[in-house]
Amino acid sequence: MRRNERVAREVGIEHERRRNSGQSQVVRDLVAILDDNREEIALASAELIRREMVGTFYGQLPVAEIRHNNLLCNDLLRGLLQGAEAAPLDWNGGVSLPFYFGQGMPVVEVFTATGLWKQVLDPYVAAAFPPGAAGRAQATLRLEAGLNRVAALVIGSIAARITGFLEEQQRRTELMLAMARAASASLELENVLHETVRGIAEAVGVDHGRMILVSEDGSEGAVWARIGEADTPVDVGTPEEPKHAFALRDTVFVRAVVEQKRPLSYQDVQSDPTARSGHRFQSRRWTLGVPCVLNDRVLGVAVVFSCDAPQTFTEAQIELAVGIASVVAPAIENARLHQKIPQLAIAEERARLAQELHDDVVQTLAATQFYASLAGDLLEQNELPRAKAALSALREMISQAYVGVREAIFDLRSMASLQVCGLTALQSYLAHYEQRYGLDVCLEADGEAAGVLAGAPGVQVFRILQEALGNVRKHGQTAQARVDLQREGPWVRISVQDDGQGFDPALVADQETPHFGLQIMRERAEKVGGTLCVESQPGRGTLVVLRVPFPQRGEAA
């Protein structure tokens, strides 16, 4: 009995040895096919893909590019057949990430192309393994398994690219979110500038930097904030009388950034005279200057640098730094004006603008963070349709953040101009409004009534005008509006009228949350001792009438 068991075991071992030996020979034959016909198979399958995949994105690529991809896959298949671990595949396939966001994962195209590649391989395999030949079935199974594995690796590589992009977008969103919060948390110019240079340095991966505030006429700069191990607090003075000021005409690097209004990177900035005071510029190798621009005017320049090793700034890093500079530019101007303008109404409006940056832009950025994380999770779960929907929502959220920042910049610039230029500034604002939003606004105003635009009442009047025009643009479904400013005895009457779709004020009043900002508009009117009346009917347009006291002598100052 024991002898029979021993014989059976020996027979089994010999059978397994022969089977493994046969598999090894099959693998060697398949690898030989891939090696001996590598170029021929790659070109033939590329031409077949071009013919058979007409109308697909991949099928429209040049033959040379498809051939190159086939060579990569040939080498990958060769390694898989030999049992090698699949190395990470950096698959591009001639397709940019925005394509995947718009079209989704190209699973069908990948497997279709793989099937056409197999059609080209089949005659070579048939020649090496004729019908009835030993190993033919194994060769067919191994080849199909290998091709399916290659297709899966290609799809996995694409998913990894998308996941990596989403992770980077999430990091960018989190940084933008933090910067928006930090910038809106303070009206102290020094704090805002310190947060600005800190955020930009973090965005590009360095630890040192300084923030230079540029004078309003663009002739001088002054260091207002520093970051880095060797840095000490800066005694900055005031915007009107800054300490550590220097003439921009005497500089090289900072002047170039201010004049060109774009980020610049120089390897050696020791020729800049401002680069010699209290900083270890001698060991610098890479420096990036990022302007903070508002209304085509450079408010400041963030100069960030590496003291330890050469630092190459990527396009994505620079783009993020510019985005941060754009987000904080209104806050910089806000803080500067807060220091210069003592009137309570102006200070309150600056604080309100900071809150709007937090409430609007920050909420949008937080939403993009959520959708970026959601899309990444869905991709890991291979939930492709839901991932595509999340990516679409992510694009929309990013677009909303961009629009929100641009509108905040536009509003801040216009409100600051009204304090000085009055009616002229309002005319300019409405002209830009038409260019930006396509709403044709007709203005009728007398010079006397326009005096209400200056001083503390002007802030609230301007915001009510903005809100009313915004309602016309967003909800009126019309391309025209009319604004009137007229003196009526001790009052100034400001009206905004449109011939759009209108609404039922009674229905709006019944809502728990009033629509279109009507409650906010009334509160603003009350702040300056005025009244607000809204008249509207469905299909017959809307009339908003604001009455505020005419400013007495000295009130418009």
Helices (H) and strands (E) in the chain, counts: 16, 11
Please give the helix or strand (H or E) that residue 287 lies within, else none.
Answer: strand 286-294
Separation CA 213–CA 431 (nearest Å): 30
Amino acid at 296: D
Please give the helix or strand (H or E) that residue 363 lies within, else none.
Answer: helix 363-380
3-state DSSP of 158-176: HHHHHHHHHHHHHHHHHHH
Task: Give the per-residue pLDDT at 152.
Answer: 86
Task: Give the per-residue pLDDT at 315.
Answer: 84
Separation CA 240–CA 111 (nearest Å): 68
Task: Give the per-residue pLDDT at 555.
Answer: 43
Task: Give the per-residue pLDDT at 543.
Answer: 92
The pTM of the full predicted model, rounded to 2 decimals, is 0.43
Please state the φ and ψ torsions of residue 303, each to the nearest 5 degrees.
-110, 110
Torsion of CA 212, 216, 219, 222, to 10 degrees: -20
Separation CA 323–CA 335 (nearest Å): 19
**Which two tokens mark 413?**
């610039």
3-state DSSP of 70-127: HHHHHHHHHHHHCCCCCCCCCCCCCCCHHHHHHHCCCHHHHHHHHHHHHHHHHHHHHH
- CATH number assigned to the domain with residue range 422-557, chosen from the 4 options 3.30.70.141, 3.40.50.300, 3.90.190.20, 3.30.565.10: 3.30.565.10
Separation in Å, CA 27 to CA 10, 80, 163, 306: 26, 10, 35, 53
Task: Give the per-residue pLDDT at 184.
Answer: 67
Task: Give the per-residue pLDDT at 450.
Answer: 76
Each residue's pLDDT expressed in tens, for the chain with a length of 557 residues? 444 445 444 544 444 444 444 458 889 999 999 999 999 999 999 999 999 988 887 888 889 988 988 888 888 888 888 887 655 555 555 455 454 544 555 778 888 888 998 999 999 999 888 887 778 888 888 989 989 888 888 888 777 777 777 777 777 777 777 777 776 666 677 888 888 888 888 888 888 888 999 988 888 888 888 888 555 555 555 555 555 678 888 888 888 899 999 998 865 444 444 444 434 444 455 788 999 998 889 999 999 888 776 667 888 888 888 888 888 888 888 778 766 644 455 556 656 666 666 666 667 667 777 777 877 777 778 777 887 887 787 777 777 677 666 676 666 666 656 655 667 778 888 888 888 888 888 988 887 777 777 655 777 888 888 888 888 888 888 889 999 989 888 898 999 999 888 888 777 665 654 455 778 888 888 888 899 999 988 888 899 999 988 875 434 43
Measured at the alpha carbon of residue 181, what is the angle toward residues 175 and 182, in degrees to the nearest 5? 90
Is residue 544 helix, strand or coil?
A: strand
**Which two tokens mark 354?**
């900071």
Task: Give the per-residue pLDDT at 350.
Answer: 58
Separation in Å, CA 405 to CA 360, 367, 408: 9, 15, 5
What's the CATH code, domain 185-340?
A: 3.30.450.40
Amino acid at 304: V
